[in-house]
Copies of this chain bind each other. A is one copy, B any other.
């Protein structure tokens, strides 16, 4: 009966929404045995850190950026999940507070790149499984929280917001009643600005009233 003393780690699914699809930020590894493979950004937890501090550091190291909403998702503990050593990893989701800004990863990784979650390469470690658990969690939370607002940039159109819900819920929504519903819930407000739309009238822009995750049953 020997208790295990694994390395503690965290892996981070960083997400945003663009052109009607969910994107995840992946990094290309330069350490054996995974040179050239992509993974979620992650790190071992240091003696001076709790998980949340390690998550914020991993995010900075992967993006050169520090602002984001973070949420713990699940802890992965399969004995052989890391071929080099026993590591138990707690996965977090991160939603950058300026989803449109370019990232600048530090030299820890070869490169970092946004991928559509439905079109990623095969990932190192058990990161395909971690990514699946994160995206399932996002889809579930669309039903009862304002998570959609964290996936969009600071200003967005009503149809962009509707698109997040339609992707997450897997069904088309009627435009008029969708708009009435989200406005009545007090989730968003008009910025007063508009986006030019060619030879149709310009489209009004909205922003989140709160950019913290809240429970707002939508259906």
List the interface of chain A (C-beta within 8 A of B): 1-8, 44-52, 72, 74-75, 77-79, 86, 88, 90, 140, 143-144, 215, 217, 219
Contact = CB atoms under 8 A, between A and B. Distances in A.
A58 to B, nearest CB: 13
A44 B79 CA distance: 15
Contacts of A88: 8, 45, 51, 88
A25 to B, nearest CB: 22
Determine how many copies of this chain the complex contains: 2
A161 B90 CA distance: 35
Contact of A51 (B72, B77, B143): B77
B4 A45 contact: yes
Nearest to A54: B77
Contacts of A75: 51, 72, 75, 90
A50 B72 contact: no
Given A50-B77, A74-B72, A88-B51, A5 B7 contact: yes
B77 A4 contact: no
Contact of A140 (B2, B8, B90, B215): B215
B45 A3 contact: yes
11 contacts: A3-B45, A4-B49, A5-B7, A8-B88, A50-B78, A51-B77, A51-B88, A77-B90, A143-B144, A143-B217, A144-B144
Contacts of A47: 2-4, 86
Contacts of A72: 74-75
A3 B47 CA distance: 6
A77 B44 CA distance: 13
Contacts of A7: 3-5
Contacts of A52: 77
Contact of A5 (B6, B79, B217): B6
